[in-house]
Amino acid sequence: MQLKRVAEAKLPTPWGDFLMVGFEELATGHDHLALVFGDISGEMPVLARIHSECLTGDALFSLRCDCGFQLEAALAYIAEEGRGILLYHRQEGRNIGLLNKIRAYALQDQGADTVEANYQLGFAADERDFTLCADMFKLLGVNAVRLLTNNPQKVNILSEAGINITARVPLIIGKNPKNAHYLATKATKMGHLLDSKIKPL
C-alpha cells in the first residue's frame, strides 16, 4: 500500500453533496483525493472516474484539452447514478508538473503534438502512476468498478493491481476546434478509444 487515508469532510457541489476523502503518499507526502457520492458499500460495481489533475482545464477553462469538460460530466453522471467515486489524481500534466506542462504547450504552439512535446522535454508520453488509484479504491473498500474512461491503459493497470473493472464506460465530451489535434493524438498515439459504446469486460 502506497497511501494512507488521512482526512475527510463534506463537499457540497452543484451536482450534490460529496464526501471528500484525502490521501497521502507514504513515500513522498504528496496528496490525492476522492469524491464519494452516496453509499458505495456492497458487492455491486461502483461507477468511478479517475481524473488526473489539470489546472488549466479544470480551473482555468482551457480549450486545449477535454479535461474540464470530463470532470464536470463525470461528477454529473455519478450524481445521477446515485452512488460513485471520482478519484482526483494529483499528477499534473501526465505527471510532468505544471511548469513543464507550460513548456510542452509552447512546443505544441510550434507544431509538436502532445506526445512529441513530452519526448522533446525528456519525458515519456505518460508519466502517471495509476497504481496509486488502485490503492485509493482499496482504502475506500471498493474492489469492483465500472470505470468512466477512454484510456484502456487505466483498465489494464487497475486490473493488474487487483481492481475488478466490470465495464469501461466512455466519457466523450468537450471536443472543439482548439483540441481536435490533441484528441486525435490521444487516439492514434496513446490508444484512447474515442467511441461512445459501453464496453463490458
CB 67 within 8 A of CB 28: no
Distance CA 20, CA 88 (A): 10
3-state secondary structure 88-142: EECCHHHHCCHHHHHHHHHHHHCCCCHHHHHHHCCCCCCCCCCHHHHHHHHHCCC
Q: What is the pLDDT of residues 106-146, one digit of tens each?
A: 999 999 999 999 999 999 999 998 999 999 999 999 989 99
Q: How many CA atoms lie within 13 A of 140 on its CB side?
A: 32
C-alpha cell at 180: 481536435
In this prediction, residue 196 carries a pLDDT of: 56
For residues 148-166, average pLDDT: 93
- pTM higher than the cut 0.75: yes
Distance CA 178, CA 63 (A): 6
Domain containing residue 166: CATH number? 3.40.50.10990
Contacts of 74 (CB under 8 A, 6+ apart): 49, 51, 86, 148, 171
Q: Please name the helix (run of DSSP H) or strand (run of DSSP E) that holds residue 185, with its range, or none.
A: helix 180-190
Location of C-alpha cell 465530451: 173
Is 106 inside a domain boundary?
no
Residue 85 sits at the vertex; the CA angle it makes with 170 and 5, to the nearest 5 degrees, is 140
Task: Show binding-site residues.
Answer: 49-54, 65, 67, 70, 92-94, 114, 149, 154
Is 99 inside a domain boundary?
no
Task: Show binding-site residues for Zn(2+).
Answer: 54, 65, 67
Cα distances (angstroms) measured from residue 141 to each of 14, 125, 164:
26, 32, 12
Is 111 inside a domain boundary?
no
Q: How far does the chain reach from its first CA to its final CA, in angstroms? A: 26
- Please check the confidence at residue 198 and state whether its pLDDT lies above 80: no
Residue 194: pLDDT band (50, 70, 90) is confident
- Point out the residues that are catalytic: 126, 128
Distance CA 66, CA 182 (A): 9
The residue segments making up the domain with residue 21 are: 3-91+128-190
Is 103 inside a domain boundary?
no
- Please check the confidence at residue 82 and state whether its pLDDT lies above 50: yes
Is 159 inside a domain boundary?
yes
Residue 77 sits at the vertex; the CA angle it makes with 83 and 181, to the nearest 5 degrees, is 140
Task: Show binding-site residues for GTP.
Answer: 49-53, 70, 92-94, 114, 149, 154
Domains in the chain: how many in total? Answer: 1
